[in-house]
């Protein structure tokens, strides 16, 4: 099996693009394992759901009289 078909098969199995698999592979090859496994800090805005919103949603989900009727 050649590298291209292996990457394509892996991308299908993981349900991600071949580009993502290649990016992961290039990153793995260029870094040691410890650096590769470090969680990257994402750029951009922080979470949209604040703790206040989260707690309100949790309360509503836990309330059988006022629960959501769908999604």
| pLDDT value of position 19 | 93
| pLDDT value of position 18 | 92
Cα-based distances in Å from 53 to 4, 7, 57, 67: 45, 41, 6, 15
10-residue mean pLDDT profile of the chain (71 residues): values are 81 91 88 78 74 89 79 60
Distance spanning both ends of the chain, measured CA to CA: 44
CB 61 within 8 A of CB 68: yes
Calpha distance 27→23 (Å, rounded): 6
| pLDDT value of position 16 | 92
| pLDDT value of position 29 | 87
């Amino acid at each position: 099996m050649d590298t291209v078909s292996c990457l394509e098969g892996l991308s299908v199995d993981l349900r991600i693009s071949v580009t993502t698999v290649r990016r992961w592979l290039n990153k793995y090859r260029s870094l040691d394992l410890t650096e590769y496994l470090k969680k990257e800090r994402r750029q951009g805005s922080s979470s949209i759901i604040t703790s206040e919103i989260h707690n309100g949603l949790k309360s509503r989900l836990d309330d059988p009289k006022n629960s959501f009727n769908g999604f």
